[in-house]
Amino acid sequence: MHIKELVLDGFKSFGRKTRIPFYEDFTVVTGPNGSGKSNIIDGVLFALGLARTRGIRAEKLTDLIYNPGHADDSEGGGGTKEASVTVVLDNGDGKLDRSQVVNAAGSDDVGDVSEIRVKRRVKETDDNYYSYYYLNGRSCNLSDIQDLLAQAGITPEGYNVVMQGDVTEIINMTPYQRRGIIDEIAGVAEFDAKKEDAFGE
């Protein structure tokens, strides 16, 4: 399973709806400093709920909303303040079957599941903000999405995203800690945790 497309709308420096294609084998993003390369990765982490705000370089969720005056720190132009990112995952190989998607979405109405569309939206009002998640167009909770993605091997601990500093951290780990990462990626750690829980009971 791989990311097929990313749709950013009002997210960070992407004031206009922007579609970014990802290829199956290898995609490189290049551009001048400050052109928004890292914001693309932030978008993936935001939409898939893989990082807290610190991981996506924002103090609060609403900092992620496109602000035309961002560079000079002035207030944005008003109007609806909203950001959304959609991650389109290619499920053409059927890694996730229909029932898993239906289960997570809590609805039969999930369309063609050869594509998994995870969307996150954050909306700011005068005195509050709201965060919404959607799975193939159906509103759902982050935990539903996380559970579904975990079934495809995509987890916050799974190194699907290798952040700056991660490689150094892995090098400096003890062999035992490094083994933990391999267990996590191989999907064994989940069963170890369940086993420990069972012994605990």
Query: Residue positions in the annotated binding site for ATP?
Result: 32-39
53 near ligand ATP, rule: CB under 6 A: no
Min dist CB 12 to Mg ion, Å, is 11
38 near Mg ion, rule: CB under 5 A: yes
Pairwise CA distance, residues 136 & 101, whole Å: 9
187 near ligand ATP, rule: CB under 6 A: no
39 near ligand ATP, rule: CB under 6 A: yes
Min dist CB 35 to ligand ATP, Å, is 4
Taking CB under 5 A as the binding criterion, the range among 20-28, 32-40, 93-101, 127-135 that sits at the site for Mg ion is 32-40
Give the CA count within 13 Å in the CB-facing half-sphere of 178.
9
Count the Cβ atoms, other than its own, within 10 Å of residue 127: 5
Pairwise CA distance, residues 183 & 197, whole Å: 17
| Amino acid at residue number 30 | T
The nearer residue to ligand ATP, 36 or 180, going by C-beta atoms, is: 36
The nearer residue to ligand ATP, 33 or 99, going by C-beta atoms, is: 33
71 near ligand ATP, rule: CB under 6 A: yes
Distances (CA, A) of 53 to 18, 59, 98, 121, 151: 22, 6, 32, 14, 24
Structure tokens at 171: 């090098």
The secondary structure of residue 96, as a DSSP letter, is: S
Distances (CA, A) of 196 to 81, 158, 189, 191: 46, 20, 10, 8
161 near Mg ion, rule: CB under 5 A: no
Binding residues for Mg ion, per CB under 5 A?
38
Binding residues for ligand ATP, per CB under 6 A?
12-13, 31, 33-39, 63, 65-67, 70-71
